[in-house]
Structure 1
Amino acid sequence: MTLEELMEHLFHPDRYNKKIRPGANDGKSSEVAIGMYVHSLSAVSELNMEYTIDMYFRQFWNDPRLAFNHSYEYITLDSFFRFSIWLPDPYFMNSKDEHFHTVTVPNIMIRIDGNGDVFYSQRFSVTLSCDIDLLAAGSM
């Protein structure tokens, strides 16, 4: 089976529905682990009580519907496949503004392991609100 045939098999509409989360048909919850690699911390403003983080936001979960038995250990997908798979919907409660990096294409990487483990990494910047008291912090 070629990579193209494998992709057609995995994402065939009769087999995979991105609108249904993994485990939903079995009554199981979908566990999603997250990680962040902070590229930079900038624009700290005591006046506006905010700061900006440029990061890689990484999410990990298992989707058994995407498991495959093939000579490939894993497959790496480009950013356009984000429209083809189920994705978690995380959010930052104290977010004031977000910017998704798209030069030259959306900065997204998707890797699917043969057992259905999905690794989704996306680069973005987020401005977050925070109670900042630099005078109190400086007196510690």
Structure 2
Amino acid sequence: MPEIKQVQITFDCAEPERVARFWCEVLGYEVPPPPKGFDSWADFWATEPPERRGASFACQDPTGAGPRLYFQRVPEGKVVKNRVHLDVRTATGLVGEERLAVLQAECDRLVALGASLFQVLLADEENESCFVMQDVEGNEFCLD
């Protein structure tokens, strides 16, 4: 049996710290401590050349169960739909009106954090309802 590998999910973005802190709030993740010898990330970034300051940021599951999320600054903006996206499992096991109410409550919380609702996909013969949303830089994700 092959060895199971850990994964890190990487986001290209314009403002890595802003996007990372958004996802910390969405997922209950935390920002890792700054590198050894620094009291804060601001102290660390102050030692970097200007073009590298704030060029990346990360967040992690405090329990260690979920993947690390890494955010890297890129010069180009997002122009097409994501080929990979996160599903935020908010209403697992719920159906019908109860599911929609839980999804809507989480949607409202995330909109207050800077997300936007893109599309509501209502249940059909094969799938339960889900909300397609965008993070603070327009990356799509689903509330499921």
TM-score, normalised on structure 1?
0.23
Question: Higher strand fraction: Structure 1 or Structure 2?
Answer: 1
- Structure possessing the higher relative contact order (Cα contacts under 8 Å, 6 or more residues apart): 1
TM-score, normalised on structure 2?
0.23
Larger Rg, first or second structure (1 or 2): 1
